[in-house]
A and B are shown apart, each in its own frame.
Chain A
Amino acid sequence: MSETTSAEFFATLLMQGFAGISLFSVLLLMALGLAIIFGQMGVINMAHGEFMAIGSYTTYILSVLASEQGWLDIYFPFSLIAAFIVAGVAGYLLEIVLIRHLYQRPLDTLLATWGVSLILQQIFRSVFGAREVSPELPEWIMGSVQPGEGIDIPVNGLFVLGLAGLVTAGVALMMFRSRWGLQVRATSQNRLIAGAVGIDTQQVDRITFALGCGLAGVAGAAFTTIASTGPTSGSLYIVDTFLVVVFGGAASMVGTLASAFTIGQAQSILEFLMTGSMAKVLTLVTVVGLLMMRPEGLFTAKVRR
């Protein structure tokens, strides 16, 4: 008797852990974007969550079009790309219109991007309504696989995990192999000298900001497979995303990865053991405690400066 219940318990725990994987994946995509923007230009983008929502709404719009055309089976991968482009272009414009005028003024950028987030939320409300929307998803993403007795692992979780893995690998590759990545790493170490050796640092800023927002857009598209989207969906995720970035150490991609995993898993498993808000409080307290011991985050670069 007690054996079956403990088996059931572990099966549920495993499934809950898998729910944590989906959360981890979305957090990871969000945190990557936020971290590369912060690393490049020291800007904390309070509107990052709304760029995620832009990605979700883009997916929603495409799903409506796709169902009219009967393309429901194939539209989803394209919506990922579209979400990236739409959020990226929006980010590019925001950088040109607002952000670049506020460099070296961290408090002003914080306030300004917070304002942008409110404006965007209101635009979502006017265009899509206050009710949450969900894109119609293709059948293949809605199923589940059963690797063992009583264990149900949803395909959407696997899909989102694979996506986050691919995107992370792509960003890492760009960061360490591309000209853009080299210029980002140089500029974030010494902006003035980077300019003096010939790097157009403002161009790098624009591209980086657009890319970071584009990544939030992809996170938003992925997000539609695990929850529905409302005008304030983005703002619900922004705090967790900040937590991931700070906890992982803003300068380290491995740190971001590890901390997204820890926080995603901790939240999801704790939510199973206690109420949702208690789980959040416990995660927050733990992270703050660890940060008191390691103020620079989990991972930092080891080099003489």
Chain B
Amino acid sequence: MLEVRNLHAGYGQSEVIHGLDFTVGDSEILAVMGRNGMGKTTLFKSLIGIVPVRSGSIQLKGQELSGEESFRRVRHGLAYVPQGRLIFPTLTVEENIRTGLDAASGGTVPDYVYGIFPVLHDMRKRRGGNLSGGQQQQLAIARALVSNPSVLLLDEPTEGIQPSIIKELARTLKRIRDLRQLSILVSEQVLSFTLEIADRLLVIEKGHFVHESRREDVDADSIARYLSV
């Protein structure tokens, strides 16, 4: 599905991502774990095209995306849920979702979206900025979903969300994967959440992957060591 080869990216003079290789399989949920400042967000931004790729390749279903602008990557099947949600605060909930729709959709939010997120239906006329953090997270996911992605990029979806809601989010994401037949790349610091949803996990440290394991083989203690300071 998504194949990344020897990816280098960074800001100005400083390189943050130093040659990453990985693949996300069909309907796979792959988690990237790492402490603060290890480069998770930078990796995601370079995948969606907000941070330029220095070298390396990003291929989605065989299509090279690394030189494309963000909106073209979205049209090819990538979708992005940024860290901190970053919904459009003055737009209503419904308008926020509609920004992700393509021209052919006619501007109607598909029913399955409100099926997955009933809260958003109840609040569709409210301004996005007036939603709670957890509701904004759902909104950001809905906005990404309506572009019919084949790979969903989720940057720290659990940040600032309370434990009971985190469990629910894990269930929702698996449901979305099954319903929409898509792959998910998610960055995370909460191990329990990762073990709940991911098929496989990678650990990133200073822009390099230092560990990889399938969920069934995970040694929780060793991962916890990577994540502790």
CA distance in complex: A276, B82 (Å):
55
Among A134-142, A193-201, A210-218, A280-288, the stretch in contact with B = A193-201
CA distance in complex: A304, B133 (Å):
12
Contacts of B129 in A (CB 8 A): 303-305
Q: Which of A183, A193, A303 is close to B90, meaning CB atoms less than 8 Å apart?
A: A303
Interface residues of A in 167-196 (CB under 8 A from B): 179, 182-183, 185-186, 189-190, 192-196
Q: Does A301 contact B (CB under 8 A)?
A: yes
Contacts of A190 in B (CB 8 A): 86, 88
Contacts of B147 in A (CB 8 A): 197-198
B80/A182 in contact, CB under 8 A: no
Contacts of B65 in A (CB 8 A): none
Q: Does B69 contact A (CB under 8 A)?
A: yes
Interface residues of A in 270-305 (CB under 8 A from B): 301, 303-305
Contacts of A305 in B (CB 8 A): 89, 129
Q: Does B143 contact A (CB under 8 A)?
A: yes
Q: Which of A182, A192, A301, A303 is close to B99, meaning CB atoms less than 8 Å apart?
A: A182
A186/B99 in contact, CB under 8 A: yes
B49/A197 in contact, CB under 8 A: no
Interface centre among B70, B86, B129, B144 (most CB of A within 10 A): B70
B88/A198 in contact, CB under 8 A: no
A198/B89 in contact, CB under 8 A: no
Contacts of B98 in A (CB 8 A): 182
CA distance in complex: A190, B86 (Å):
8
CA distance in complex: A57, B120 (Å):
51
User: Least Cβ distance of B104 to chain A in Å?
Assistant: 11
Q: Does B24 contact A (CB under 8 A)?
A: no
User: Least Cβ distance of B33 to chain A in Å?
Assistant: 23
Are A196 and B91 also in contact (CB < 8 A) when A183-B99, A186-B99 are?
A: no
B71/A200 in contact, CB under 8 A: yes
CA distance in complex: A301, B49 (Å):
30
B71/A189 in contact, CB under 8 A: no
B127/A303 in contact, CB under 8 A: yes
Contacts of B88 in A (CB 8 A): 185-186, 189-190, 193-194
B71/A198 in contact, CB under 8 A: yes
Are A197 and B89 also in contact (CB < 8 A) when A182-B98, A183-B99, A304-B129 are?
A: no
B69/A195 in contact, CB under 8 A: yes
Contacts of A186 in B (CB 8 A): 88, 91, 99
User: Least Cβ distance of B71 to chain A in Å?
Assistant: 5
Contacts of A201 in B (CB 8 A): 71
CA distance in complex: A194, B75 (Å):
13
Contacts of A304 in B (CB 8 A): 89, 129-130
Q: Which of A197, A301, A303 is close to B74, meaning CB atoms less than 8 Å apart?
A: A197
Interface residues of B in 84-131 (CB under 8 A from A): 86, 88-91, 95, 98-100, 102-103, 107, 127, 129-130
Contacts of A179 in B (CB 8 A): 103, 107
Q: Considering the complex of A and B, which 7 residue pairs feature the smallest CB-CB distances, nearest first?
A: A198-B74, A195-B70, A303-B129, A186-B99, A304-B129, A196-B70, A196-B80
* Residues of B that sit less than 8 Å from A by CB: 48-50, 69-71, 74-75, 79-80, 82, 86, 88-91, 95, 98-100, 102-103, 107, 127, 129-130, 143-144, 147
Q: A194-B99, A197-B100, A197-B147 are in contact. List 6 more A-B contacts (CB 8 A).
A: A182-B99, A193-B82, A198-B70, A198-B99, A199-B71, A305-B89
A-B contact pairs, 13 of them (CB 8 A): A179-B107, A182-B95, A185-B88, A186-B88, A189-B89, A190-B88, A192-B70, A195-B71, A196-B71, A197-B99, A197-B100, A198-B70, A198-B79
* Residues of A that sit less than 8 Å from B by CB: 179, 182-183, 185-186, 189-190, 192-201, 301, 303-305
